[in-house]
Amino acid sequence: MKPRARQFPAPVLAAALLLLLAACASEPKTRPPSGAAPEPGDGPSAANITAADVKDAVPRNEPRSAYGNRSPYTVYGKKYYVLESSEGYVQRGTASWYGTKFHGHKTSSGEPYDMHLATAAHKTLPLPTYAEVTNLSNGKSVIVKINDRGPFKDDRLIDMSYGAALRLDMQGPGTAPVEVRAIDTSGLPLATSGSADTAETWLQVGAFGQRKSAEQLAKRLASADLKPVSIQKGGNLFLVWLGPYDNTLEINAVTQRAIELGFERPHKVQR
């Protein structure tokens, strides 16, 4: 004779169902943690793009996003506090990347995620923050706009878009040791919608608290035939700019020349 299936009273079953629903409701509505490689269902773009097709994000002085800056916030039971400012932020850690699974979805800042652009996700930097990310294993760098939250894994510092991962040559391994250095945009004019597409572009080579230091760098640049060079006042800083330029080819050529001559990698600014 077959054993009789155990029967539970209706109140017990109802209580168990309520507990299950409560557990489901408590799950965070966010991207899962990034692993050593893109998670199942995620991956590279089907478009045949190369690192050369991915342009640096152009730093702009933007107000904080209306979304994604709530502090503190909790994900997977851990509480995170958004930094008051990105000023002076420099950290080293491990970068991962994310791609097709989230392409077209809204980021934490409300902007759509475009895996082909140079963007990134960070747990605590204000949104948006512009930063230079350098792959410490090969020296390759990219300037990204941080407009998303993540990666929610303790041993990850930053999650790169697929395009940014191409620039760092880390899309194959999935992770890389990186340095993340925030770019101070406070000295730039406050950006307005659409200005990034119409403004002339400068290359910022340095920022100093003392004008004399800025003048010394400007003199070295001019001596190396990197012109036109100017010193701009931005808040409490003296900014050394090359330009303006109105085409990508010239910008890339000047950038490469500055690096070859031993100057720090310039980053693009607009006004």
45 CB burial (10 A radius; 0-12, 13-18, 19+): middle
pLDDT, residue 189, reads 80
Per-10-residue mean pLDDT of the chain, 271 residues long, equals 47 44 36 48 78 90 90 93 96 94 88 90 97 97 96 92 96 94 89 51 89 93 89 86 80 85 86 67
Domain with CATH 2.40.40.10 in the chain: 51-182
One of 1.10.287.130, 2.60.130.10, 3.30.70.260, 2.40.40.10 is the CATH number of 51-182, namely 2.40.40.10
How many CB atoms neighbour CB 52 within 10 A?
Answer: 9
Q: Where are the beta strands (DSSP E) in the chain?
A: 73-75, 78-80, 90-98, 119-122, 129-135, 141-148, 158-161, 176-182, 201-208, 229-234, 237-245, 267-270
Tell how strand 73-75 and strand 78-80 pair up. Answer: antiparallel
pLDDT, residue 205, reads 92
Coil, strand or helix at 248: helix
pLDDT, residue 39, reads 61
The residue whose two tokens read 């945009």 is 185
Query: d(Cα 87, Cα 121) in Å, to the nearest integer?
Result: 17
Counted residue by residue, the chain has a size of: 271
pLDDT, residue 188, reads 84
CATH T-level topology, domain 195-270 = Alpha-Beta Plaits (3.30.70)
pLDDT, tens only, 194-219: 444 435 788 999 888 899 999 999 99
pLDDT, residue 38, reads 58
Domain with CATH 3.30.70.1070 in the chain: 195-270
Tell how strand 90-98 and strand 119-122 pair up. Answer: unpaired
pLDDT, residue 21, reads 38
